[in-house]
Structure 1
Amino acid sequence: MQSTVNYLWHTDDLLGQGATASVYKARNKKSGELVAVKVFNTASYLRPREVQVREFEVLRKLNHQNIVKLFAVEETGGSRQKVLVMEYCSSGSLLSVLESPENAFGLPEEEFLVVLRCVAHVNALSGPKDSLPPKVSPRHEAVPGQRASSPLSAVAGMNHLRENGIVHRDIKPGNILRLLGEEGQSIYKLTDFGAARELDDDEKFVSVYGTEEYLHPDMYERAVLRKPQQKTFGVTVDLWSIGVTLYHAATGSLPFVPFGGPRRNKEMMYRITTEKPAGAIAGTQKEENGPLEWSYTLPVTCRLSLGLQSQLVPILANILEVEQAKCWGFDQFFAETSDILQRVIVHVFSLSQAVLHHVYIHAHNTIAIFLEAVYEQTRVAPQHQKFLFEGHFWVLEPNLSAQHIAHTTASSPLTLLSTASETPKGLAFKDPAQDIPKFFPKVDLQADYTTAKSVLGAGYQALWLARTLLAGQELMLRGLYWCVETFQATCRRTLEVTRMALLFLSSSLGTESVAGMTEMQELKKVTELRSRLRALAEALSRCSHSITESQTSLSNLRSELLKNRDQVHADRSIQQIQYCLDKMNLIYKQFKKSRMRPGLGYNEEQIHKLDKVNFSRLAKRLLQLFQETCVQKYQTSLVTHGRWMREVHETRNHLRMVGCSVAAYNTEAQGAQESLSKILDQVSHQLLQDRTREAQVSPPLTAPYPSPALTDLVLQMQELCEEMKLLAFDLQDNNRVIEGLSRPPSAPDS
């Protein structure tokens, strides 16, 4: 046990160890509160006095939620070693999070954004303001009077920390600690300011600190390769370290990897970082003495959405730049990261692609900008974008603010309909079974642990993909179901209007000609009009029959969708994969514990061999489930989805044409009815005049009014015309709905 005046710790509770100090978990003697104590060793006192006190001074100067707090500086009782008493972060570091097999291929998007926010906050301390103003593109221009949407914006942290003009010089995942907040959220805090120092605007430094994988190439050349050079370093060296850290968090691996690894091939490591082309964010050498391969995008195994990747990649490309003159400054870096963090995410599921997109948009932007962002990811032009949300059409007016867009989630996105009929491509992914290692027959505790960790990481990637593929199937079925329901409602409405028109036409055609009309010139016109109305009635009857057929087809499709939805809900492959992972995880933890031992006894070694066999069997079963159940079902669902989408497109186009025909027939019928009404009105008026003249010559036996049959016919025609006008209004409204579902197939996409 060791102690200071107020704190007590055991040397077994080691949290971390470096060249000059060790960090332990300790307790306050009075309150029992857990803290972390950094105890400096003898070697630390060989450093110059100003270097020894620098960390104390830096921590005392800084006060930020994303920096580990300094509580006190004390001394041990006997050796009087300096002890920093600091905030204890119980959940390890970002490195330990990334070392977990669950994150072998990078963090989930939500967690990565937390890391980005915390790194953007605290790394404002990496240096003073740049001398040049940031180059902000038009998409980042703020609306006058518009404030950032997040109270924890990166700018707030930047303003506080940049005032202190400090460069950290050892930014890496191991120096970003993690703790859980009261609501279970991750909070990341920068620690280890042993290499930090204050630096003015144009001041340079020559001393070298840091961890080699995260070092700026100029510092790497001197510190690792030991090559003499006269270069000085500015505050932007931290930006390189931030870039490597963010790439590591996004992908689970380092961006620059020579054959054999960074620590084994240092010359090639330096060559990769210095020869990197502009715009490249990663470089690897896959064969000994082989060529270098450059990447300009994040790998397909990355879990970040393409929407976030499109925002992140330009940042990485501009801070992973060797030449300091070409590298972004901190103002530009924080402007761009703040821009990402202040955006809202709109989840959009493209029904024609069968892909879920994350669209990052500012709340103060217009919907027109959102529609363009959707186009960038889906290639569906704004004029051809129609959206459904929770089963209803969601009309987006381009001039309105993006705040009017519905609140979406990954499980409840906007569903995008496109007029183009294309084969769904689905999610692009890499099979986790590719390139996974196998156990060597010989017992090698370190090698067995490493192999188990890699295989388990592939298993967790398979689980994540399986969940993503299953969620995609659910979104496909749900989106199609909503389309079918919408089209059925359109069918019912069109059919109702068509039947009303037929009823009115039948009523008109069923009325007999009145007596006295046979001698009139208008009889021929009446006959022609009635013949025309009869033809229209027959055409509307055919439309009614066609709509009924569409209803039957949609009902059949609806039944298929419900059947497939039940099958998706009954799928248990996720639970089976999770079961295999739980069993594998127990063996992995045992391997992790065993690797720290010098060797195993005979019985323990036999158990270890059996564990390897069981682990391999479980891994084979897991990957088999993924490939033969999850992937095959997904691929089958894509084929079926494509067939159903073609049916939906055909039905939509058919309904549009039928709706147009009904509208045209209705217009024509309305004109015929009005003509017929006018003729009958004229006949009625003429008969009335004739009867009046006859009455003046001789007293009438009956009242001088037209016959009841003719009067009823005229009134019926007038009523029918009014009904047809209402019918025309209904059809116009109905056609607007149909037109909203589709454009003519020949319409261009852009």
Structure 2
Amino acid sequence: MQSTVNYLWHTDDLLGQGATASVYKARNKKSGELVAVKVFNAASYLRPREVQVREFEVLRKLNHQNIVKLFAVEETGSSRQKVLVMEYCSSGSLLSVLESPENAFGLPEEEFLVVLRCVVAGMNHLRENGVVHRDIKPGNIMRLLGEQGQSIYKLTDFGAARQLDDEEKFVSVYGTEEYLHPDMYERAVLRKPQQKAFGVTVDLWSIGVTLYHAATGSLPFVPFGGPRRNKEIMYRITSEKPAGAIAGSQRRENGPLEWSYTFPITCRLSMGLQSQLVPILANILEVEQAKCWGFDQFFAETSDILQRVVIHVFSLPQAVLHHVYIHTHNTISIFLEAVYKQTNVAPQHQEYLLEGHLCVLEPKLSAQQIAHTTASSPLTLFSVASETPKGLTFRDPALDLPKFVPKVDVQADYSTAKSVLGAGHQALRLARTLLAGQELMLRGLYWFVELLQATCRRTLEVTRMALLFLSSSLGAESNVAGMPETQELKKTTELRSKLRTLAGVLSRCSCNITETQMRLSNLSAELAGSRDQVHEDRSVQQIQCCVDKMQLIYKQFKKSRMRPGAGLSSAPIRPHGILFCQLVDQETWFLSVSTRPWLQRGADSQAGQGEF
């Protein structure tokens, strides 16, 4: 146990550890309130005095809901080590959220927007107070739950922070390798002598890497073998990145560098949000500091995203649900153009249904006139032009399954289980998306058929009224029979002949409409039956059951990994199977079980049985 005058903690309650300090979960001695205490070690006191007190001074002047609060600065009783008493965030960090297998391919859209909003607000407060953080990364963004269960993210760890105006420069190097600006990486990691000075925009590079990581679950710049193993290539990727690219990788040893200008297909963000986000990342992940956006433009562009509202549009030609981000002050014309960019359906060809009713959108009206939508109750878009439909594109989760290591290794088994579980969660999300899309497609088609039936009924009614009128007109023909033939009578006779022909055409049309009505009625009944089958589909529940079993396997390996000396010499019992899901087509799921009789080393293995 360790303590200060007012706080108490145990060294087992470690929350995090760095080069100069450790962070523990502690309690107030009087109230029992949970706090986080940052205890500085001996190495921290080797730094210059002004560096030692910099973090205290920075935190004292900051006061914002998206920055971890400083409550007090105290000292331990015996060693008199400095202790920062700070707000405790019970839900870990953004890094721990991203480390969860459920988020192996990035955060869901709603959670990502919360992260974006909180990071932007926190950084805006830093800039208003002339502070540069210099170590922005997911591990330094803490998470806690609000009173209504919503996530709140807060910037923390201001050990590298310092006062710096927009035009000022600094030469000292801080930060974490994967999130460092290339100029800082060159000097700090590669140890190359250079005289470059750095400005506040280095924080923007770190924010860009962090946002990409949150959106995709992966780092944007990855050399073969990983960033920590191949530092020279890591520097090449970041420093040679072409304008507009937001990611770069090297897929094989000594292979070429490959650039990406979009998010990967596995990203969970909608195309509507991705299209807004990519230009921002492209301009803050800019190597040349002179070409990089400043904070003013970054705040303006991100605020523009956060102030938009989402209109959910389900495209029947694509069977895809779209998120269309627009401002409430925009016109419907701008909304129609945004839909065109995502669906390739021209504005003049767009027709909409909302809950089965035709929805007429006047281009000149305000977008506020558009009814409220949700993912389960979107606007249903159909096109009056004949186009080649393009369906949902996705990556088969089975392609992301790792290779199984033949030897027993707790760390390798843990990593494998984690990757397989991540692919399992992705398969589950894909199944839900496909099933929800199928439901929306069948519902939209049912409404469209109902609309056609209503049109047929109205057309048939008008046709029958026209036939009745023609019949009454033609019934007067007998009144003119036997009268002397005149020029006018001849014209009347010709007109009556044309009317009889028209009546025949209308009669045939009436029969055709009646026949079409019967076909549409049968199609409507068939679509209703298909919707019932979708509701009875249990594939999602089956995959969920599979993922739950995989979760138990993962937890077992995670627990085993934490045991002292875990490894080949003290291998635990390996689970009897690793289950995973593979999408064969859009309707069939193949469940595969890899079964191997992994046994714990013991008498049987010594007797020559149960070999690994």
TM-score, scaled relative to structure 2: 0.93
Matched, 1:563 2:529: yes
Matched, 1:18 2:21: no
Q: 2-side partners of 1:73 and 1:515: how far apart?
A: 113
Structure 1 counterpart of 2:192, from 227, 235, 242: 227
Change (3 A) 1:603 1:331: closer
SS at match of 1:496: helix
Change (3 A) 1:16 1:572: same
Q: Which piece of structure 1 moves more, 469-478 or 422-431?
A: 422-431
Residue correspondence of structure 1 range 447-526 to structure 2 within 5 A: 447-511=412-476, 513-514=478-479, 518-519=483-484, 521=486, 522-526=488-492
1:467-490, CA deviations, whole angstroms, 9 ceiling, x for partnerless residues?
111111111111111100000000
SS at match of 2:323: strand
Kept after mapping to 2: 8 A contact 1:25/1:35: yes
1:571-619, CA deviations, whole angstroms, 9 ceiling, x for partnerless residues?
11111111011111111011011112244699984x622x1x32x2x22
- The equivalent of 1:200 in structure 2 is 165
Matched, 1:176 2:141: yes
Q: 2-side partners of 1:51 and 1:600: how far apart?
A: 39
Q: 2-side partners of 1:248 and 1:601: how far apart?
A: 30
Residue correspondence of structure 1 range 597-746 to structure 2 within 5 A: 597-599=563-565, 605=571, 608-609=573-574, 611=575, 613-614=576-577, 616=578, 618-619=579-580, 622-623=581-582, 626-627=583-584, 630=587
SS at match of 2:313: strand
- The equivalent of 1:239 in structure 2 is 204
Deviation at 1:517, TM superposition (A): 8.0
SS at match of 2:398: coil
Deviation at 1:535, TM superposition (A): 2.0
The one-letter amino acid paired with 1:176 is: I
- The equivalent of 1:333 in structure 2 is 298
Structure 1 counterpart of 2:154, from 178, 189, 197: 189
Change (3 A) 1:585 1:519: same
Deviation at 1:184, TM superposition (A): 1.3
Change (3 A) 1:332 1:601: closer
Kept after mapping to 1: 8 A contact 2:142/2:156: yes
Change (3 A) 1:387 1:597: same
Which sections of structure 2, spanning at least 5 residues, go unmatched? 591-612
Change (3 A) 1:84 1:632: closer
Kept after mapping to 1: 8 A contact 2:409/2:567: no
Residue correspondence of structure 1 range 33-182 to structure 2 within 5 A: 33-124=33-124, 160-182=125-147
Instruction: Pick the structure with more helix per residue.
Output: 1
1:237-271, CA deviations, whole angstroms, 9 ceiling, x for partnerless residues?
00100000001001100011111100001111111
Q: 2-side partners of 1:488 and 1:393: how far apart?
A: 13
Kept after mapping to 1: 8 A contact 2:317/2:391: no
Q: 2-side partners of 1:322 and 1:526: how far apart?
A: 87
- The equivalent of 1:321 in structure 2 is 286
The root-mean-square deviation of aligned C-alpha atoms, in Å, is: 1.9
Deviation at 1:28, TM superposition (A): 1.5
1:401-430, CA deviations, whole angstroms, 9 ceiling, x for partnerless residues?
111111111111111111233343311111
SS at match of 2:534: helix
The one-letter amino acid paired with 1:627 is: V
Structure 2 counterpart of 1:254, from 192, 205, 219: 219
SS at match of 1:433: helix
- The equivalent of 2:375 in structure 1 is 410
- The equivalent of 1:276 in structure 2 is 241
Q: 2-side partners of 1:269 and 1:360: how far apart?
A: 35
Change (3 A) 1:242 1:281: same
Deviation at 1:56, TM superposition (A): 1.0
Deviation at 1:518, TM superposition (A): 2.3
SS at match of 2:399: coil
Kept after mapping to 2: 8 A contact 1:437/1:455: yes
Identity of aligned residues (%): 83
Q: 1-side partners of 2:403 and 2:551: how far apart?
A: 17
Kept after mapping to 1: 8 A contact 2:280/2:301: yes
1:360-388, CA deviations, whole angstroms, 9 ceiling, x for partnerless residues?
11110111111111111111111111111
Q: 1-side partners of 2:540 and 2:110: how far apart?
A: 21
SS at match of 2:311: strand
- The equivalent of 1:684 in structure 2 is none
Q: 1-side partners of 2:34 and 2:482: how far apart?
A: 107
SS at match of 1:193: coil
Q: 2-side partners of 1:515 and 1:373: how far apart?
A: 65
Deviation at 1:534, TM superposition (A): 2.0
1:10-50, CA deviations, whole angstroms, 9 ceiling, x for partnerless residues?
11111111111111111122221111111111211111111
SS at match of 1:518: coil
Q: Which piece of structure 1 moves more, 81-90 or 531-540?
A: 531-540
Change (3 A) 1:422 1:608: farther
Q: 2-side partners of 1:73 and 1:101: how far apart?
A: 37
Q: Which piece of structure 1 moves more, 518-527 or 422-431?
A: 518-527
Change (3 A) 1:516 1:206: closer
The one-letter amino acid paired with 1:340 is: I
SS at match of 1:35: strand
- Counting matched residue pairs gives 589
- The equivalent of 1:550 in structure 2 is 516
SS at match of 1:434: helix
- The equivalent of 2:562 in structure 1 is 596
Q: 2-side partners of 1:65 and 1:472: how far apart?
A: 39
Q: 2-side partners of 1:17 and 1:532: how far apart?
A: 95
1:499-519, CA deviations, whole angstroms, 9 ceiling, x for partnerless residues?
111122222323464489825
1:541-594, CA deviations, whole angstroms, 9 ceiling, x for partnerless residues?
111111112112211211221121111111111111110111111110110111
SS at match of 1:422: coil
Matched, 1:587 2:553: yes
Kept after mapping to 1: 8 A contact 2:94/2:142: yes
Q: 1-side partners of 2:95 and 2:562: how far apart?
A: 19
Kept after mapping to 2: 8 A contact 1:102/1:460: yes
Kept after mapping to 1: 8 A contact 2:106/2:268: yes
Which sections of structure 1, spanning at least 5 residues, go unmatched? 125-159, 634-750
Structure 2 counterpart of 1:422, from 356, 362, 387: 387
- The equivalent of 1:537 in structure 2 is 503
TM-score, scaled relative to structure 1: 0.76
The one-letter amino acid paired with 2:104 is: A
The one-letter amino acid paired with 1:563 is: G
Q: Which has the higher contact order (CA 8 A, sep 6+)?
A: 1
Structure having the higher Rg: 1
SS at match of 1:207: coil
